[in-house]
Structure formats: C-alpha cells, structure tokens
A and B are shown apart, each in its own frame.
Chain A
Amino acid sequence: MTYAASHHAKPVQRFFTAALLSLGLIISGFGTNALADDRDGAEKFIAATGDRVINALQDGTANGDNAESWFRSLITETLDIETMGRFTLGRHWRSTSPEQREEFLQAFEDALVNVYTRRLREYSGEQFEVTNSRAEGRNDVLVTTRITSGNTGQEIDADWRVRPQDDGTYKVIDFVVGNVSLLASQRSEYASVIQRNGGSIDALIRVIRAKGQS
C-alpha cells in the first residue's frame, strides 16, 4: 500500500520522503559508529575486569581477610547495582518506600558480594578471554567470554551484558549463560517470594539476608 501511494505522491511529498529517508540514514549511520565504539569499549572493559580479578586472585589480594572488601569494591565499581536491583524488583519497585528501596538495594548488593566472593574463591587457574560482542537492547553490548577451567580444560561461554554510562565508563547489568538471562530468572524468583509472602517486600529482604548468612 505504501508502495502504491508513492507512485501517486506529489513532488513535494516525494521531496520530504527523500529528505526523511536520508536523515534516517544519517542518524542510523551515527548510530552504527557509536555502537562500534561501545562494542570496543565494552570488550575492553570486560577484558580489563577479568584481568583485574585474575591478577588479584593470583597475587593474593583477593584472598584472606580482605577478600570481602576487595570483592565489594570490585562489584560496586563494575556492576550497575541500582539498575539490576530495580529490574529484579519489577513492578514492586513502585509500591516500596524510599527506606525499603535502600534496604532492598543493600541486601541485593550484599547477596552479590557473597555469591561472587564464594564463586571466585574457587578459582584454580581459569583462563578468561573475550571472544565476541554484539549489540543488545537499545544501547547495551553483550560481550561473550570463554572461560576455560584450570582443572579439566572444560570451556564455558558466558555473556556479560554491558551498559555504557553517561560518564563514559561501562557497567555490567546482566549475565547470560546458554541464552538464559540470570537477572530475569532472579526477578522471577523475587516475584515468587513476594507473592508467597502476601506481597511483602520486607519478607523478600529478610529471605535474601537469611540466604546470605547461611
């Protein structure tokens, strides 16, 4: 139908159509360049973060008594906790008070610190390498890494969803393994816990906290 209409269009209309089309091309052209820059930046960010973790594990900085504080600063610097926390709370975010939000985000951060401190402590010579990246969502980049086990040589592909920040830095907002988003899975879990506790966010916060202490 649009095709047929263009045949009967007046010259003025045709001019505007052409102008709009070229504008679109120019904008999308800019978009492509920005994207290429972001992909490059996001890949470098993930590679640098991987090196940072591996170096700290090898020279002992990330072990011993300082482990937790080391991982906490790593996590707050490289993950966008607020975006992740808000996403996992979904529609419940709106019905929570500012105090509850703060408390929830703190519990969310603590849980991440717990999980990663535990997981990365099991490090045994794993190799970490950026293998690919592609655009994801509106502005994000999905960076694919290959993690090779130090013991068995088994290879796992893990994707890191990276979001460019306003200040030119990058932050991770999701982990994707086997085409499955762990953040989406966590959101569904949180929703289920809230529902099973009569819609209480405080109950969710308690369950997250209790998990961290077990």
Chain B
Amino acid sequence: MLSTLLPFRSRATHTAAHRVYHHQAKSPVLLALLAGLTLSACATAQNSPDGIYDPIEPVNRQIFAFNDVIDENALEPAAELYRDTFPEAIRNGIANVLRNLRSPIIIGNQVLQGDLEGAGNALVRFVTNTLGGLGGFLDPASENGFEFEDEDFGQTLAVWGVGEGPYLVLPLLGPSNLRDTVGFVVDSIADPVGILVDNQSVGAEVAISRSGSGALGGRAEVIEAVDEIKESSIDYYASLRNLYNQRRQSLIADGVVSVEIPDFNADISFNEEEIEEDVSELNPSILLSARPAERVED
C-alpha cells in the first residue's frame, strides 16, 4: 500500500542472486568507511570557521547543489502533493508506522549505548503501539508519557567516543559525516525489519517504499521551515552544515546542548579574547569526550 504513495517504483527484479550480491557489496564499503574513520581521528586541521571538520568542502558544496536541484524539482513538489493529498491524520499514521518499524534498531542502539531506561521506553512503545495502536498507526504510548526518542548507530558511536570525522554531503541523502554515514550503513544492514523484509519476494519494493515514504513524509513536515532557512540564509550550505551538527549533538546528548552567549556589556575582568574565540559549544570533541550524556528534562 505504501508503494502507491510513491512517485517512483522499484524497477529491479529482486532475485536471490541479487540479494547476495547486495550484501557482499556492503561489507568492503563498510570496512573502507571504518578505516577512514580511524584515519580521520588523526587529522585535526582544516576546520570550518565554526569548528566543523570539512576538508572536502568544495566537493560537498557541489553535491549539496546537486541535491538542492533534485529537491526543488522532485522531492519538494512530491512532498507538497503528498501533503495536499492526504489529511494530517493519515500522514501522521504513516509516519507512526515507519517510526514503529524502527523500534528494533532503536532498542538495539539504546542497549549498545548503555541506556537501559531508553531501551525500556522504546520497548514499551513498540509493544503498546503495535498491539494497542493498530499496528503502529497510532501512537498511544506518547500520550502515556513514553515519548519517542530517536537513536541510531551514529549516535551510538558518538557515545562510545568516536569522533565525527569529516563532514560529508551524501548524494540524495544530504548532510552527514563519516561517523554518521558508517552508522547509517550499519543500521541498514543490522535492521531486523530490513532483514525480514529482504527475505520476502516483494522485499525490494517494500524497502524502497519504506525509505521513500519516510523521505517524503519527513520532507512534507518541513516545507515551510526549509523555505524559511533558504530564504533568510546568506550561505545556505554553511547554515545547514551548522544546523545538522547542532541537531546531531542534541540527539547524542538526548537533550539540549547549551550555547554560550557571553555578556558583552558586563564589566568583565576576565580575558575578553578568550571568550570571543571560544567556539567550544560548536566543537563536537568537547561533547564526545568521556562526559556521560546529560539528559535535560522539560
């Protein structure tokens, strides 16, 4: 049913041989990425002005421009059509189903991060919403205080102390960094729902529908926000690079990451230069150093 919502369909005939090839191909990529991650830990120079390591900025900017063309011509119009066609309740339901299907991967990552409370929360959500929420279409768990918390293997690596590596703009997928890219690949391979689906005859169709409708639904929710950022930005690329970084930091910390805004008017007795050069709130290495993730409750 989900595939009918999509502007595109799978052309691939999904045979067993195709699947095997698919899985074999992933491992060397993963190894290469992990090797790159290790190497990148040694390199520290070439930071962007706000402390984000972006050594291949010119390439990133080109991919970014390419993605933007795709977005303007395909994804955004499709998202608008999607939003106009389906009432909010249906769109929320679809988003809920997709979110619910991510539960196994979220539970796994919570456990790997040592956040057993978070894992319990995700488990309660999964059971409640699957059984009492029409297979995940509704979200009664949130109404009872079990709020959704997004986790992925990129965040797990961060909690383990892995640095983010270079900032990357991935074709079609958008802003990322080496750590989060590895996380994305690991999540895609390890996802029990994905493996289950892969072994069905309609595996490819379902998998594509799943990621496609996820992208469409996600894009539909932020049409105005993206327009606004684009319209008011004087460097859209730098703006999104920073927004991505801040967003990831707050997800990793499971809460708010404070930005220090000095009191410029006060009669300051400490070194002014030190403050103005302090970009620590934007430097992920601070966040990723041994300090345990801080949870900020509302």
| In contact, A184 and B256 (Cβ under 8 angstroms) | no
Give CA–CA (A166, B258) in the complex, Å.
23
Q: With A91-B276, A191-B49 as known contacts, state yes or no: A138 contacts B263, CB within 8 Å.
A: yes
Report the interface size for chain B: residues with CB under 8 A from the other chain. 37
Q: List residues of B (252-296) whose CB comes within 8 Å of A's CBs.
A: 255-265, 273, 276-277, 279, 281-282
Check if B50 is an interface residue, CB within 8 A of chain A. yes
Report the interface size for chain A: residues with CB under 8 A from the other chain. 49
| In contact, A139 and B263 (Cβ under 8 angstroms) | yes
Chain A residue at minimal CB-CB distance from B88: A152
Q: With A83-B261, A94-B276, A189-B238 as known contacts, state yes or no: A179 contacts B48, CB within 8 Å.
A: no
Q: List residues of A (164-213) whose CB comes within 8 Å of B's CBs.
A: 166, 173-174, 176, 178-181, 183-196, 207-208, 211
List, in ascending order, chain A residues with CB within 8 A of B234's CB. Answer: 189-190, 193, 207-208, 211
Check if A115 is an interface residue, CB within 8 A of chain B. yes
Q: With A90-B276, A94-B273 as known contacts, state yes or no: A83 contacts B264, CB within 8 Å.
A: yes
| In contact, A184 and B49 (Cβ under 8 angstroms) | no
Q: With A93-B276, A193-B234 as known contacts, state yes or no: A187 contacts B260, CB within 8 Å.
A: no
Cβ distance B80 to chain A, nearest Cβ, rounded Å: 14
| In contact, A184 and B281 (Cβ under 8 angstroms) | yes
Cross-chain contact of B261 among A161, A178, A195, A208 (Cβ < 8 A)? A161
| In contact, A184 and B242 (Cβ under 8 angstroms) | yes
Cβ distance B52 to chain A, nearest Cβ, rounded Å: 8
List, in ascending order, chain B residues with CB within 8 A of A91's CB. Answer: 276-277
Cβ distance B88 to chain A, nearest Cβ, rounded Å: 7
Task: Write 24 A-B pairs (CB below 8 A) sorted by A numbering.
Answer: A90-B277, A91-B277, A94-B273, A94-B276, A111-B232, A115-B232, A137-B258, A138-B263, A152-B88, A173-B261, A174-B259, A178-B247, A183-B259, A185-B239, A185-B246, A188-B49, A188-B239, A189-B234, A192-B48, A192-B49, A192-B50, A192-B235, A194-B49, A196-B235
